Amino acid sequence: MSAYPAALATDIVTDSGFQLSLRPIRPDDAALLERFHQRLSSQSIYKRYFSLHPVLSEHELRYLTEVDYVTRFAYVVEYLGELIGVGRFDRIPETSVAEVAFIVSDEFHHLGIGLMLLERLADVAWSLGITTFCAETQADNRSMMGVFLASGFVVKTRMEDEIISARFSIEPTEASRASRARHSRVPHEVVNEEEAR
């Protein structure tokens, strides 16, 4: 395992004003990840895992939190001490392609968190020599496809048996830079949930 990349930790602000913490995952995040998973709706779990998967096993928790930060990398998003989003990539051995996935707590959907995760995962992956992301999602998972399409990357898709396979270069483009510029904000005072409403 490579050294923990603490320098990648940062604050992000959603379009609605939530200040969130973004950082690479750590092995001691297992309990936080378990609680995060338990709060997810069955629909969100099904879209992420393609099955009803209400409980993560100890083996899964270790696998998901113990990454090497080179071939396997994950970011977590925190709000008020709890995880509200996770994004990760896993490099396909001996290639410059990585599989990407992310999931956000139901109450934080549609705030741009998935797009922020994708952009920052792409930054890390590109710096490590990964040039392409791929992913599989269910045909009705419009949110995930919406994130890919909003990123400014050129996404190629094919569908088979109601599963969409997406593949796209993560080389920064004028469109991807413009997408990021539209929602990038400098963190300021924390906005609590009541104020955001």
Q: Domain limits of the chain?
A: 6-184
C-beta atoms surrounding 194 within 10 Å? 6
> pLDDT class for 196, splitting at 50, 70, 90?
very low
Q: Answer yes or no: CATH 3.40.630.30 is held by domain 6-184.
A: yes
> Binning pLDDT at 50, 70 and 90, where does residue 167 land?
very high
31-46 pLDDT, tens digit per residue, is: 999 999 999 888 887 7
pLDDT tens string 107-150: 999 899 999 999 999 999 999 999 999 999 888 888 888 999 99
* Mean predicted confidence (pLDDT) in 13-21: 85
Task: Cite the beta strand spans of the chain per DSSP E.
Answer: 10-13, 19-24, 72-79, 82-91, 97-104, 132-138, 155-160, 163-169
Distances (CA, A) of 53 to 18, 59, 73: 29, 14, 22
Q: Are 155 and 173 in contact (CB under 8 A)?
A: no
